Amino acid sequence: MSPERSPPDVEIVFTGDDAFVVFNGVRIAKRGYPKTPQAGTWVSLEPGWRVFGGGTKDDLVIQHKRGARPLTPAGFVVKDGSG
């Protein structure tokens, strides 16, 4: 029997003109600036992480190539990016 794991801490943090997805205290993605090719997307800041969805945490899909996180906060979908 495996020990219970707490859900990861995931939030969107706004700092001035920037928005970041923070996963367990690490900034994993930054929102692209308007009028750039990255506008409306999340730009990965950490290797192996991909973030999709809108600008609210209820819209986020977070992938990590090392495998799925089994427990997530309500409103989040974390998928295994290996397939």
Angstrom distance (rounded) from CA 35 to CA 39: 6
pLDDT at position 55 is 64
14 within domain boundaries = yes
3 within domain boundaries = no
66 within domain boundaries = yes
46 within domain boundaries = yes
pLDDT at position 36 is 96
5 within domain boundaries = no
Range of the domain at 28: 10-80
2 within domain boundaries = no
pLDDT at position 24 is 87
Tell me the mean pLDDT per 10 residues along the chain, length 83. 72 92 91 94 90 78 67 47 46
Number of domains in the chain: 1
Q: What is the pTM of this model?
A: 0.70
* 76 within 8 A of 64, measured Cβ to Cβ: no
27 within domain boundaries = yes
38 within domain boundaries = yes
